[in-house]
Structure 1
């Protein structure tokens, strides 16, 4: 869908940017920034020109947010999200083999780093008796 999609053409319930921000915990500024970058675009616009989002858009925002702790760039996140949306069962088949190998390796390494940080955080909590 494009930004020119009329509300009547959107399937299901729509929401404005403020509601999407509230539902996801993301700032309006971040949503607008992602829109400018093409990472997360509104499914349509109201007659007054306001961005309209669907529940599918909300799922995309949540997917993007779930990737942020891995430290990927917004360009890399966009590439991953597009692959997941193109082929949900096998996202890495939707990209060149070298990119898929890169993402697999990076995800494992970053997951291991996050797991180590969690162990360190637990040790600190135990140390201070919180």
Structure 2
């Protein structure tokens, strides 16, 4: 049990408040590994990485419910999984690129959208390859 972290230790290492750890636990983003004799929650060290992943995804505009579904391997948007979502995103980017070819002023906007989408794809692939999933 010595390698487990109390909520305050986890919060300090992850750079968040204990309220954030508590909220993430309530949403199922974090799982309590054990409890002390006094009832305090204990977390595995990997929870620090999970919090970093969640915060990164949040910074890219994903909501916590979608993140929780992805971390638990659940479907996203009803019956779509992550691979299907990424394939759809890629197809939509191609369609936007074709549309932008006829409208030069849209090229700058398309570049921004494309950059953001590629960042999200890279992040999704990193998550899929991480031990968190």
8 Å CA contact retained: 2:70, 2:82: no
User: TM-score, length-normalised on structure 2?
Assistant: 0.56
8 Å CA contact retained: 1:35, 1:41: yes
* RMSD value, Cα: 3.1
- Aligned-partner Cα distance in 2 for 1:111–1:96: 19
Counterpart position of 1:26: 16
Counterpart position of 1:71: 61
User: TM-score, length-normalised on structure 1?
Assistant: 0.57
Counterpart position of 2:98: none
Structure 2 vs 1, CA of residues 15 and 69 (structure 1 numbering), >3 Å: closer, same or farther?
Answer: same
Query: 1:88-99, aligned counterparts within 5 Å?
Result: 95=81, 97-99=83-85
Query: 1:1-130, aligned counterparts within 5 Å?
Result: 7=1, 13-83=3-73, 95=81, 97-101=83-87, 109=113, 112=116
User: How much does 1:68 deviate?
Assistant: 1.3
8 Å CA contact retained: 2:27, 2:68: no
- Aligned-partner Cα distance in 1 for 2:89–2:61: 12
User: How much does 1:96 deviate?
Assistant: 6.0
How many correspondences in the alignment?
92
The runs of 5 or more residues in structure 1 that have no matched partner are 1-6, 84-94, 116-130
